[in-house]
Amino acid sequence: MKQLKFDAAVIGGGAAGMSAAAELRSRGCSALVIEREEELGGILMQCIHNGFGLIEFNEELSGPEFAQKIEERAVASGIEALCGTTVLEIRQEGGFHVVYGVSSRHGVVRVEAKAVVLAMGCRERNRGNIRIPGSRPSGVYTAGLAQRLVNIDGYIPGKDVVIIGSGDIGLIMARRLSWSGCKIHGVVEILPYPSGLTRNIVQCLEDFGIPLYLSHLTTNIRGKDRVQGVEITPVENGAVRYDKSFEIPCDTVLLSVGLVPENELSRNLGVEINPATNGPWVDSRLMTNIPGVFACGNVLHVHDLVDYVAEEARRAGAFAADWLAGASPQRELRLKTGSNVRYLNPSKVDPDRENKIYLRSMVVKNGAVLEARIDGRVVKSIKKAHVQPSEMLFLTLGPKDLAEPDQRTASQSAQVEIAIV
């Protein structure tokens, strides 16, 4: 058994894991990144399209280019990485967190660490998750798998394609497969609004004349050995109109129906999971209910931009370094989801410093206002020209926002409600 010891073990070598580890190293802590693939970079390595890095690096990059820049920064900081290693379990032994993994090169690996940063990313929901009726022919893929087949392995999954769900990966694959000579017959979305970013609707569908069927349900996948078509049914006023069903002939179906944080390791460790995000509950330091275990990136909540993943992961690395040094907030205030807000991350704020809070809207609205309130008193108000569930929002709250009217610090029992009005 290969045995290692570090101040912090970071599980996952994507943008989140590398950014968190680099921040830990910059603060004098030893950090090991454990990655199951043979190289660092995570899912970015198969995302060859542009659109990354506009916030983080102030330039437009492809996924591999973004990953390279993050990796160069991490390597320069002095991180160590163990690639080709799959983590099987995290245990608490003798006051340490012990990570057990297996590697074709090293066999069984045991890593002892004072702190752990969870950065495993997310996985795609599949046909079983959404229970589409019909037979089980070949030709049904998740959009991310199709992306890997085309961009990494060099295979085209099919020629006549229907995409179910309007998530960003599916929209991007509509464009990618169109460039490869495939015919995209439509994108089918059960909601009355798209699930992906507006820019991807424009650049990946409208620019290619690909139809978007909003408020439509996929009610059957037909075919014996290979997909032959899908049955599409409109949804009107909440009712499924089977009398208006129609079929789109195709040989391939791509599912782009959402992402789920990869939290099996977290659950087995005893980390409490937020049902609204399927990621861990975390406090103002991005620390879970288990002391010394932090979470960031898509394992915490699904982000729309990898730039936000890197920024959040740096904060997780900084908080982990502070925790290793013995620092902790004197008090924390709970956050409460107000009207039209699906979730808030983190779930608490520290009234003695600046806090960055990410959230998702539950509504599509123009001329919205993002409000933070304490005991009904508005302490911060931000105007938003447009909000929608597919685009993540954020705001910062600091000591000035969280102080009582007489300038005393807010009490421990106070709650901060954040709403969209």
DSSP assignment of 100-157 equals: EEEETTTEEEEEEEEEEEE---EEE--HHHHT--B---B-EEEHHHHHHIIIII----
| pLDDT of 2 above 50 | yes
In the predicted model, what is the mean pLDDT of residues 9-22? 98
Task: Look at the chain and count its residues.
Answer: 421
Q: What is the pLDDT of residue 403?
A: 85
Interstrand relation of 216-222 and 229-236 (parallel, antiparallel or unpaired): antiparallel
In the predicted model, what is the mean pLDDT of residues 300-322? 97
Q: What is the pLDDT of residue 129?
A: 87
| pLDDT of 182 above 80 | yes
Measured torsion, CA atoms of residues 87, 88, 91, 94, in degrees rounded to the nearest 10: -70
| pLDDT of 412 above 70 | no
Q: Where residue 414 falls among pLDDT bands split at 50, 70, 90?
A: confident
For the chain, what is the largest distance between any 2 Cα atoms, rounded to a whole number of angstroms?
A: 72
Full set of structural domains in the chain with CATH: 2-123+260-324 (3.50.50.60), 126-257 (3.50.50.60), 333-420 (2.60.40)
* Cβ neighbourhood burial of 162 (10 Å; 0-12, 13-18, 19+): buried
Q: What is the pLDDT of residue 215?
A: 97
| pLDDT of 200 above 90 | yes
Averaged confidence pLDDT in the chain: 95
In the predicted model, what is the mean pLDDT of residues 249-273? 96
Q: Is 67 left (phi over 0), alpha (psi -120 to 50) or beta?
A: alpha
Q: How far, in Å, CA of 287 to CA of 46, rounded?
A: 30
Q: What is the pLDDT of residues 99-154, one digit of tens each?
A: 999 999 889 999 999 999 999 999 999 998 888 999 999 999 999 999 999 999 99
| pLDDT of 174 above 60 | yes
Q: What is the pLDDT of residue 410?
A: 44
| pLDDT of 365 above 70 | yes
Q: What is the pLDDT of residue 406?
A: 57
Share of the chain above pLDDT 90, in %: 93
